[in-house]
Amino acid sequence: MTMEGIAGAAQTGKAALYRRWTSKADLIIDALGSTLPPPAQVPDLGSVRSELLQLIEGYGAAMESRAGSAMRALMAELDHERTREFKDFLTERVIRPSTSAMLDILRRGELRGDVRPGAATSLVADVAPAMLMYRAKVCEGALDPGFCTSLVDEVLIPMVRP
C-alpha cells in the first residue's frame, strides 16, 4: 500500500493525492472513516449470549471487509511516531463505540440475571476486541470459521456468568 499504488488505482497522480492528504496515513484514515460501518448498538435480544454474538460477529465481518483489510495493512506499516494519529482515529471510531456497546450488553445482562453483578467493567469489555486484534495481528487477519461463536461461548460467557 504505497501512494504510487493508491494513485494508480485511483487513476491519478501522486501530486493530486498529496494536495488533498499530507500523508498516506491521512488518506487511509479519511478513507476508513467514510467506509467503516457506523458503530452499531445491539438491541435487547433477550439474552446476553445472543447480543454478544451479534456484536462480535459484526466486528468479525468488519475486520474481514475491505476497510478492515486496509486498517490492518496500515497498522502493520506504521512506525511508532506515526501511530498517534491512527490511534486517535481507532479510539474514536472503533474502541470507544465497541466498549460502550459491550458495556450496554453486559449491564442489560446484569438486570436480566444473565451476568454476575459487577462484571460490566472496561477490562471485560476489552477482551473481545483484544482477541480480535490479536487474531488480526498475529494470525494475519484470519478468523477461523466459528471463531466469534467460540469467543463468546468459551471466553466471554464464562467470564461474566453468575
The domain segmentation of the chain, as residue ranges, is: 36-160
pTM of the model: 0.79
CB 55 within 8 A of CB 42: yes
The confidence score (pLDDT) of residue 76 equals: 67
- CATH assignment, 36-160: 1.10.357.10
pLDDT, one tens digit per residue, over 49-65 is 999 999 999 888 887 77
Average pLDDT over residues 101-120: 96
3-state secondary structure the chain: CCHHHHHHHHCCCHHHHHHHCCCHHHHHHHHHHHHCCCCCCCCCCCCHHHHHHHHHHHHHHHHHCHHHHHHHHHHHHCCCCCHHHHHHHHHHHHHHHHHHHHHHHHHHHHHHCCCCCCCCCHHHHHHHHHHHHHHHHHCCCCCCCCHHHHHHHHHHHHHHCC
Mean pLDDT over residues 135-145, rounded?
Answer: 75
18-74 per-position pLDDT tens digit: 999 988 778 878 887 887 777 778 899 999 999 999 999 988 888 777 777 776 766
